[in-house]
Chain A
Amino acid sequence: MELLPEFEIRQPKTAEEAVALGAEADARYIGGGTDFVPNLRRGLETPSTVVDLSEVSEMQQIEETENGLKIGASVSLQQLISNELVIKQYALLAQAAETIAGTTHRQSATVGGNLCLDTRCQFYNQSEWWRKSNNYCLKYRGDICHVAPQGDICRAAYSGDLAPAMMVYGAKVELVSAAGKRVIDLKDMYQEDGANYLLLNPGELLVAVIIERLDGYNTEYRKVRVRGGVDFPLVGVAVAAKSNAGKLEDIRIALTGTNSRPVFVEGAEESFGKPVDEETIKALVKLVRVQSKPMRSTFTPGSYRSKVVVNVARRLINQLL
């Protein structure tokens, strides 16, 4: 690990103050810092100002809304999984949050931090000397993606566990910048580019995520990883499904670890109203196969993760319908 670079720390009390500071050149926001600080230590970030969000009290609340929850971006993962409402009514969310990192990380790691989690790659999450000896990479300081050298896009994998979970609850995010506030669908916050995976404007701050309650759905999140604790997902699959009298009413499938963005599987609505049988399940699994694109960004080959994501999705769909 490298020594930390020199930077200033600011600790604003309100989101408004935070975005004013975040608008400065080379400013970076820090939540719990469980991913950001290791990245700083690896020389992957060189901010001039670090805006610490831990004293912004308006971002630390979990509020019940008319048909769901509004969760502040600075809510810690431990707070999230200890919240009675989350445990009772958003089981999949609690399940996903509980698989993130380790017990100790979850005390400080935040909801916003996990949603904005930097994409990961075996050629990126390395020390400065390692990356330098490999001529760096497209995501940072280099001009070639070692995962897909023919391409012109970074293939680092998005690895946050909360995003797919939030997506099945129809999540929207509240974003604040000096220009004002906007609310967008969570899935529109990401794009398929590992180096620029977040569609946020410079200095824009994620302050809250808004989710809707799912009534009458069977839900489950399953994560596959090498080490049972702490590790990032090789793949993560969130499924919420509802059927009535043997017919599929609704199914929402979201993935992580497979692409440079969390993937909300599109096209499931074509199976709505059809009988829950082998053919319908096959069609849903095919959507997962086609839309997931694991690459050689981890120590396991992409072909392995392709098989895993398809099989995990098939198992969950079978189990929940």
Chain B
Amino acid sequence: MRQSSKSVHEVTVNGRRRESVVPPNMLLIDYLREELRLTGTKTGCDGGECGACTVLVDGKPMLSCITLVSKVNGKEVETVESLSENGRLSSLQRMFHEKLGTQCGFCTPGVIMASEALLRKNANPSDEEIRKALEGNLCRCTGYVKILESVKAVAEAGAAR
């Protein structure tokens, strides 16, 4: 077995700059969950098909289960843990709770991060735009209607950040 050399990566995760020594074959999801113990981000299909592992990299949604840590060197990563403020849910998180956009909850961190990316770009998206932004996120509980309503509710309340 080849032994690959580790190197130092500088990544800002949820506002905190970190210097970590990681092997070149480490995936972002493993870095977040195993090294940093940020287990909010979920591993679903493990192959980029379900969107449960979605995080933001420099504000853009990315699938952490198919992203190598070296790809985010020097960049800013945001996970679902970054959204709450002083222990209070963000308006987007609250709406998912109130409008039943989350049921078993496994896809929720990914869906919320993909929605967050959409709402930052477009504070008042149409149903079609929400569907498009979330096309890569699978949910087996809600049937998607409640997810759509949750994102819509944030936009309607004008509470989008």
Contact = CB atoms under 8 A, between A and B. Distances in A.
A34 B54 CA distance: 13
Interface of B is mostly: loop
B67 A104 contact: no
B25 A104 contact: no
A12 B132 CA distance: 34
A100 B1 CA distance: 36
B67 A33 contact: yes
A103 interface: yes
Contact of B4 (A8, A38, A78, A108): A8
Interface residues of B, number: 32
A101 B67 CA distance: 15
A7 B47 contact: no
Contacts of A50: 24
* Most chain B CB neighbours (cut-off 10 Å) among A1, A6, A9, A52: A9
Interface of B: 1-5, 23-27, 46-49, 51, 54, 60-63, 66-68, 70-71, 114, 132-137
Interface of A is mostly: loop
Contacts of B135: 102-103, 228-230
Contacts, number: 85
Interface of A: 1, 4-9, 11, 33-34, 37-38, 41-42, 48, 50, 52, 54, 78, 101-105, 107-108, 228-230
Contacts of B54: 104
B66 A37 contact: yes
Contacts of B3: 6
Contact of B136 (A8, A9, A102): A102
Nearest to A5: B25
